[in-house]
Amino acid sequence: MSTIVVVGAQWGDEGKGKVVDCLSARADMVVRFNGGANAGHTIVVAREEYVLHLVPSGAVREDAACVIGNGCVVDAGLLLEEYDDLKRRGIDLTDRLFVSGFAHLVLPHHKAADGALEDSSSAPIGTTRRGIGPAYCDKYARYGVRVEDLLDDRDLRAKLEAAYAYRARWTGSGDYPPIDEVYGQLAEEGKRLAPFIVDTSLLINGYIADGKNVLFEGAQGSLLDVDFGTYPFVTSSNPVAPFAAIGSGVGLDRLDYALGVVKAYLTRVGEGPFPTELTDSTGEYLRERGYEYGRSTGRPRRCGWLDLVPLRLAARVNGLHGAVVSKLDVLDELEEIPVCTAYRLRGKIFGEMPLPVALIAEAEPVYETLPGWKTDTSGITSWDDLPKKAQAYLRFIEEGCGVPVVAISVGQRRDQIIWLEEVF
């Protein structure tokens, strides 16, 4: 038996979907444990591209069970759309999709509130507008509607009314879709989803007890974590590895290995501080070469140099055992590659994130510039064949954050990954 938790070590979009897909070849089960349809995990199989928002990336492997854990928030309509779309493309999840009854629903009024809050804020977060924040707010306020409520029509109606009444107490009645309409739609969706709704904690623990391989798939990235990220410019869940235990209902001793995905440079979508951001033609170059556009919203991603300061935080709070460096090939043509090793801030040097964390907005990055390798790495299949300068870049990352590099991804395809160690 083995389990692995795959998480993003930066601001999301590190290429987790591909890594999860590759590792899924050995997984009996893939479990999403945080977030919702704000995620956009891209997997390329031959000429087909799949972009998954809610369904775990293990879906495109025929045998893996796909679990949406209790730590997620579920947009029932979107989940069914994704299910139907996969079915049209020859991937049938009928007997292998499982949704936790304890997960909370993202309701139409959450999406409306998400958009309205962004539009009226003087400092918008740049959310995906998928209702994620308001859904988690209701969860923690104890006025959420859970997936299990779809199993009982009367209960569903009562919970929905309580959720609307709660929100009205805070924000007025708002411009929300009428409750009758929402109830009717949810009741329909509930009928279709009912066969998939189970106690997923029981199921996952059963798999582990039977000696099967379970992969926990994080969404977003560690720097978007609501506790450890660049608050308030974060998401509303905990995308870090230890949350895999809470977000899926397994004990801590069931998590064997934490694998962080680290993009060879850095991107961010939405607002918030980004000390190494490049707003010039080099940033534009990275965006075009790396095709850095959000998969959930189509927004262009902000691009910049790799930053070891928040990466050290990610290594620590995730307890990373190993790192996959992704998109190394995007840097192939560069003459030289700066990496931020520390911040200069108010006359001091910081190797770790300062307090208050918002100060990083005024941090001046201290760069160490490494030579580029000026070689096409996209077809390379072994460490020894990588250019020496690319090897040095990878070793530099490893030493800079204290986590061994266990794999390097050099392109979108499944075969474009070099494993240095077997981790799962």
Nearer to ligand IMP by Cβ, of 232 and 402: the residue is 232
Indicate the residue whose CB is closest to ligand IMP: 270
What sign for the dihedral angle of Cα 169, 175, 179, 182?
Answer: negative
Q: In the stretch 194-223, what mask flags binding to ligand IMP with x, by CB under 6 A?
A: -------------------------xx---
Q: Does 224 bind ligand IMP (CB under 6 A)?
A: yes
**How does DSSP assign 201-223, residue by residue?**
HHHHHHHHHTT--EEEE--S-GG
Sites for ligand IMP among residues 233-252 (CB under 6 A): 233, 235-236
Nearer to ligand IMP, 174 or 294 (CB): 294
In angstroms, rounded to a whole number, what is the distance separating the alpha carbons of residues 350 and 422?
35
- Residue 127 C-beta: closest distance to ligand IMP, Å: 4
Among 71, 108, 144, 270, binds ligand IMP (CB under 6 A): 270
Number of residues that bind ligand IMP (CB under 6 A): 20
For the beta carbon of residue 91, count every other beta carbon within 10 angstroms. Answer: 16
Per CB under 6 A, contacts with ligand IMP among 106-135 are 125-128, 130, 132-133
Based on the residue annotation, tell me whether 41 is a catalytic residue of this protein.
Answer: yes
- Counting every residue written for the chain, the total comes to 424
- Least distance between ligand IMP and beta carbon 273 (Å): 11
Note whether 56 binds ligand IMP by CB under 6 A: no
Which position among 13, 114, 307, 329 bears the catalytic label?
Answer: 13
Is residue 166 within 8 Å of residue 104, measured between CB atoms? no
Of 21, 41, 138, 329, the active-site residue reads: 41
- CA–CA distance, 222 with 34 (Å, rounded to integer): 12
Closest CA to 69 of 223, 218, 225, 251: 218
Distance CA 263, CA 386 (A): 17
d(CA 336, CA 22): 30
* Cα–Cα distance, 154 to 161 (Å, whole number): 11
Question: Residue 321 catalytic?
Answer: no
Query: Are 66 and 321 in contact, with CB atoms under 8 Å apart?
Result: no
Please, which of residues 31-50 interact with ligand IMP by CB under 6 A?
38-40
Catalytic annotation, residues: 13, 41
Binding site for ligand IMP (CB under 6 A): 12-13, 38-40, 125-128, 130, 132-133, 219-220, 224, 233, 235-236, 269-270
